[in-house]
Amino acid sequence: MLPGTPSLVLIASADAADKDLWRMVLDSGGVVLAVLIVLIALSIACWAIIGAKTVTIGIAIRRSRDFVVTFRNSTRLGELYQACDAIEPSPARDMFRAGYEELDLILRERDQRHPHVTTLPERQVAVRPEGDGPSARPNNDMAAFENIERALRQAGSASIAMHERYVGFLATVGSAAPFIGLFGTVWGIMMAFKDIDTTKPILDTVTPHIAEALVATAIGLLAAIPAVMAYNWLVGQLKRLEGHLGQFTTDYLNILRRHFFS
């Protein structure tokens, strides 16, 4: 026997097994084939979501971390706000802009300028009327500070919600795919026993159909396992992003309280 022949045999056996698997998938008919098509489509959708969310959430974390460093190294909030257009978009940048715009509006409503803030002359903002609604002008410093805090948290929540979109789909597939595959298997086994030919050995007539039916469960598990693992990992990444934004919110509000609301 030539050297390396056992390896060639193993490779050939693996190729034959793969061909048998695909042949069983293609030979499946009716409900079982429909189940397999649904599971394959769900698996493709999951992998597309996993790839897209891994990239976008990773970019959001990196850019937010970089912006927080820039924020902590800045000496003028107004200068940082005016430089935001040249900074890469990130959740932290959007939160800073939302908070600063509310602060600028409050300072205009006070009709005074603060030495640490440059108000924005290009923004012609009408003074808000007095009242008790959410769009009314705050009547004291505590209410004004709460407005800024609310603007920050709304911007952060909107960013987290945007990055959470479609992540829940992975959890749905992870919990439903095994049951969809099991349904296809049960249906295939029912049809296999229904089509028993009494003139032939039972193993010759039932075994191939059962093997085809079991493929549905295998495909269901192949779709569910990566979906569940990716969902748990992405949730962890979202919590990491939320933690960065929470720390930034605390730092930002502390600075505003110290300089404008003390």
SS (H, E, C) the chain: CCCCHHHHHHHHHHHHHHHHHHHHHHHCCHHHHHHHHHHHHHHHHHHHHHHHHHHHHHHHHHHHHHHHHHHHHCCCHHHHHHCHHHCCCCHHHHHHHHHHHHHHHHHHHHCCCCCCCCCCCCCCCCCCCCCCCCCCCCCCHHHHHHHHHHHHHHHHHHHHHHHHCCHHHHHHHHHHHHHHHHHHHHHHHHHHHHCCCCCCCHHHHHHHHHHHHHHHHHHHHHHHHHHHHHHHHHHHHHHHHHHHHHHHHHHHHHHHHHHHCC
pLDDT of residue 113: 42
Write the pLDDT tens digit of every residue in 30-41: 778 888 889 999
Lowest mean pLDDT among 1-10, 76-85, 155-164, 218-227: 1-10
Contacts of 99 (CB under 8 A, 6+ apart): 148, 151, 152, 155, 252, 256
In a domain, 17, yes or no: no
Residue 153 lies in a domain: yes
pLDDT band at 10; cut points 50, 70, 90 = very low
Answer whether residue 205 is part of any domain: yes
Say if 22 falls within a structural domain: no
Rounded to whole angstroms, the Cα distance separating 123 from 6 reads 77
Of residues 224 and 15, the one with the higher pLDDT is: 224
Q: Which domain holds residue 220?
A: 30-260
- The answer, yes or no, to whether residue 220 has pLDDT greater than 90, is yes
- Of the pLDDT bands very low, low, confident and very high (cuts 50, 70, 90), residue 12 is very low
CB 219 within 8 A of CB 36: yes
* Beta-carbon count within 10 A of 239 CB: 11
Query: According to the model, what pLDDT value does residue 116 have?
Result: 46
Look at residue 225 and tell me if it is in a domain.
yes
CB within 8 Å of 249: residues ≥ 6 apart: 95, 149, 152, 153, 156
Question: 16 lies in a domain?
Answer: no
Contact 106, 148 (CB under 8 A): yes
Model confidence pLDDT, tens digit, residues 169-200: 999 999 999 999 999 888 888 877 776 766 66
Mean pLDDT in the chain? 82
pTM: predicted TM-score of the whole model, two decimal places: 0.78
Looking at the structure of the chain, the number of domains it has is 1
Q: Is residue 65 part of a domain?
A: yes
Q: What is the mean pLDDT of residues 192-218?
A: 73
